[in-house]
Amino acid sequence: MKTVFKIFAFAMFPIQIFAQNNDINKWKNFGNYYDNLYKPIIKTEIVNASYYQNLSAAGLNNKFFYPFIFKNNLEKNVIDNNLKSNKLKKAEIETNINFSYINLKKNTFKNKNIFWLLNGAYSGRTSMKLTNDAATLIFKGNTDTAKYTFDDCYFYNLRYNKVGAGIFFINEKLPKPYNFSILVNIIQVENFADFVSYKNNYLKSNEDSFETGLNYDATFASAKLSGFDGMGLSADFNLNYKINKNGILSFKIQDLGFAKFKNSADFYTSNNVYKFDGIHIPSISNLNDNTFFQNQIDSTLEQYTNKQENIDKTIFIIPQTEITYTTHQKSGYYSAALRKQGTKNNPELSLRYFNFIKPNIIGGVSCGYLNSIFLNADASLALKNKFFFQFGIKHIEALLLPSKLGGAGVIAGFQILY
């Protein structure tokens, strides 16, 4: 329970929740949902801050992940339990901190339907797939003389900051109203890692020798926030379209762009089989050289990596895409969404039910599949149609069964209207 409490504490952060309703009265307390086509737009200014973090895993349970979340030591028995099964080990981690501002009081371009908006965000995406052997090598070691294989593994990590500006367009007077927003962002990628292994990756080892098959590509790049490296551009696009009396179709594409690293990216590759039976000491006099072993280690590793350091690299950022259909029924609101995170993972499929618990409180539950089945819950609170709070918790199933399932996440949001 202590862990569950920590996860809930973790969840006390803002996130923006969307909902639709054609009942204007029901939605009148939630002026913060300016792009919700179930209600008319309110002439106001909105400041938004939100936080989103989600970890979805397969083959690894929450007891394995908690040390990473809470910066503790990963115990040997936890590792052993997670490595018992030969299943693939997969994890997707997504973090997003977002600040935005929109002025709906004042139209722009002399068009009553166009408003400008500002946006700033920090985003992080990590995606990992390991064979059980690869995970064993990393988390346990190579004491077993069996062959370890690590084909078709990957590790992808992208962290970036962005600031952007754009427009919000809305047309409410049509029988099928719609709105969309377009933003252009300046981005800086702080950290980029992309490792992919192909076929014929293995390690056969004992205390006398190593035989390693390596067939991989890896790119790493990083930039300091204070520098101008890793800079690029991206674009965001959001569309909401009310296709019938009750149904809204939404489409979102976020961070379609690129970033460039100048002389600061490292590339490693290999496609060969290597054998190592210890550093050969050709002469006893080599032991007088303090750098001999390090030089030998470096030259051995060089064969394994064929490294190209400090090269130019342009990164094309895989955009996050999402398509959602929401419908309002007598029993409440239902939405179905298909979302691709912007990494190498499979899409996330989710179904959500939400409704008004009180005029100023919306509650929702959702379930879906991303690496494994998940169960989420969320709530939204409005105070005098001026202050708004959202909070939610993700992967309730894994929080309740931490030794069997892996996943955790929080959503939190806060808006002010004036």
Options 18-26, 249-257, 279-287, 369-377: segment touching other proteins (CB under 8 A): 279-287
Q: Does 2 bind other proteins (CB under 8 A)?
A: no
Q: Indicate the Cα dihedral angle 331, 51, 222, 255, nearest 10°.
A: 40
Among 116, 195, 210, 334, which residue sits at the site for other proteins (rule: CB under 8 A)? 210
Smaller CB separation from other proteins, 70 or 198: 70
Question: Are 248 and 37 contacting, i.e. CB atoms less than 8 angstroms apart?
Answer: yes
Sole binder of other proteins in the list 8, 109, 293, 316 (CB under 8 A):
293
Counting contacts by CB under 8 A, is residue 77 touching other proteins?
no
Identify the CA nearest to 125 among candidates 417, 272, 365, 342: 342
**Of the candidates 51, 155, 178, 192, which one interacts with other proteins according to CB under 8 A?**
51
Neighbours of 65 (CB within 10 A): 22
Diameter of the chain by CA atoms?
89
User: Among 77, 226, 288, 331, which residue interacts with other proteins (rule: CB under 8 A)?
Assistant: 288
Task: Quote the tokens at residue 388.
Answer: 């708004």
Q: Which amino acid is at 268?
A: Y
- Which of 42, 47, 74, 367 touches other proteins by CB under 8 A? 74
By residue count, the chain amounts to: 418
Q: Are strands 45-58 and 210-222 parallel, antiparallel or unpaired?
A: unpaired
With respect to other proteins, which residue has the nearer C-beta, 10 or 325? 10
Under rule CB under 8 A, residue 154 binds other proteins: no
Q: Which stretch binds other proteins (CB under 8 A): 27-35, 139-147, 177-185, 361-369?
A: 139-147
Judge whether 354 and 19 are in contact, CB under 8 Å. Answer: yes
> In three state form, how does the secondary structure of 191-206 look?
EEEEEEECCCCEEEEC
For other proteins, the closer of residues 200 and 209 by Cβ is 209
Residues 6+ apart with CB under 8 A from 306: 268, 269, 270
Q: Chain centroid to CA 327: how far?
A: 27
Helix 62-70 to helix 76-83 angle (10° resolution) is 140
5 binds other proteins (CB under 8 A): no
Nearest-angstrom CA–CA distance, 148 and 214: 12
140 in contact with other proteins (CB under 8 A): yes
With binding defined as CB under 8 A, does residue 225 bind other proteins?
A: no
Using the contact rule CB under 8 A, the part of the chain among 83-91, 206-214, 339-347, 397-405 near other proteins is 206-214
Q: Which is nearer to other proteins, 356 or 388 (CB)?
A: 388
Taking the CA of residue 223 as centre, how many other CA atoms within 13 Å lie in the half-sphere pointing to its CB? 27
> CA-based Rg of the chain, rounded to a whole angstrom?
25
- Interface map 326-365 toward other proteins (x if CB under 8 A): ----------------------------------------
Residue 96 φ then ψ, to 5°:
-150, 125
Nearest to residue 239, comparing CAs of 339, 304, 322?
A: 322
Q: Where are the alpha helices (DSSP H) in 170-222?
A: none
Among 284, 330, 384, 418, binds other proteins (CB under 8 A): 284
Q: How far is the CB of 281 from other proteins (least distance, A)?
A: 4
| The one segment of 180-188, 253-261, 278-286, 340-348 that binds other proteins by CB under 8 A | 278-286
Q: Determine, following the binding rule CB under 8 A, whether residue 84 of this chain makes contact with other proteins.
A: no
Among 4, 24, 114, 138, binds other proteins (CB under 8 A): 138
Shortest separation between residue 123's beta carbon and other proteins, angstroms: 16
Binding site for other proteins (CB under 8 A): 10, 12-14, 49, 51, 67-68, 70-76, 79, 137-143, 205-210, 276-285, 287-288, 290-291, 293-294, 297, 412, 414
